[in-house]
Amino acid sequence: MSRILTKALLQVFAILPLYFIRQLGSLLGFLLYIGNSQTRKVTTENIQRCFPEMPSEQQHLLVRQSLAETAKMALEVAPVWMRSVDWVVSRVDNVYGEDLLKAAVNDSRGLIILAPHIGNWEVFSPYLSTIGHMTALYQPPKIPAFDHIIREARERTGADLVPTDRRGVSSLLKALKAGGMTVILPDQVADSGTEHVPFFGLPAHTMTLVSNLINRTGCKVLMGSVLRVEGGFELHFQEPDPAIYDADVTSSLEAMNRSVEACVRQAPAQYQWEYKRFRRPPPGAEKPYRF
């Protein structure tokens, strides 16, 4: 699909009312469920692995809810990317922990906001542009047509996008040391710089970047999530597990994953369970997602 056609489709969806987009998302999620899609299979396996104590009926219900929320997220990016920053910010109904956020932004040590794949994390960039300047790592998407569109959407808020390489990390370090702010999605499976530490009790390939940035800058860390509520969104900011500041990398990573878990448990259905979080198991361990 060409960039022009992709942008045109996004602009069409962007003008639709938010409640209508979400209704379409619920329908699409239902189709993903009854169609026994790959998305459903991955979602089901992840939920079964992470909530083994949950009764089977509840697991199936959570799978259905998760697929609906995932589809809503996919469709919501159109208005979040294409409409004005003011429009997006006007859809933020409540901000919990805003005092923590503003205190951290005003702290000269710099701030990392860890934003797991829950709700609609794309809302962070417009909202945070009203609080302070942001530097963010950016990796081009697998679909080339989206590259320019995503860059344009995120840079319109004034954010500085830097590549996910040594040069980009160096820019991020410089920004944090100058008291700047960044948002990092901590539950991505990185290609390098990782360790296996527990996530919902299971060994998960976890990035060491955040721990390294903390140790090298002494910056502040907050957990952040954007949850979907009727008519818009609500933002949550909270302190992470204090062991995230531990100089021992493994201890820091374990604390980071516990902090991500705490965010997920706030709204399990809105977490991105279709992401293959456990696709790189430890050597000798059974590989998941065999379908």
Residues 8-34 pLDDT 10s: 889 989 999 999 999 999 999 999 999
**Domain assignment of residue 152, given as a range:** 85-270
Residues 124-143 pLDDT 10s: 999 999 999 999 988 877 77
Residue 278 has pLDDT above 80, yes or no: yes
73 found inside a domain = no
Residue 238 has pLDDT above 90, yes or no: yes
Tell me the residue type at 77: V
216 found inside a domain = yes
CA separation for the pair 85, 222 (Å, rounded):
23
pLDDT at 284: 87
Mean pLDDT computed over every residue of the chain = 94
* Percentage, residues of the chain above pLDDT 70: 100
60 found inside a domain = no
pLDDT class for 229, splitting at 50, 70, 90? Answer: very high
Residue 232 has pLDDT above 60, yes or no: yes
| Domains of the chain: total | 1
31 found inside a domain = no
76 found inside a domain = no
59 found inside a domain = no
231 found inside a domain = yes
Q: Are 227 and 124 in contact (CB under 8 A)?
A: no
pLDDT class for 1, splitting at 50, 70, 90? Answer: low
278 found inside a domain = no
Matching residue, tokens 């619920």 = 26
pLDDT at 83: 95
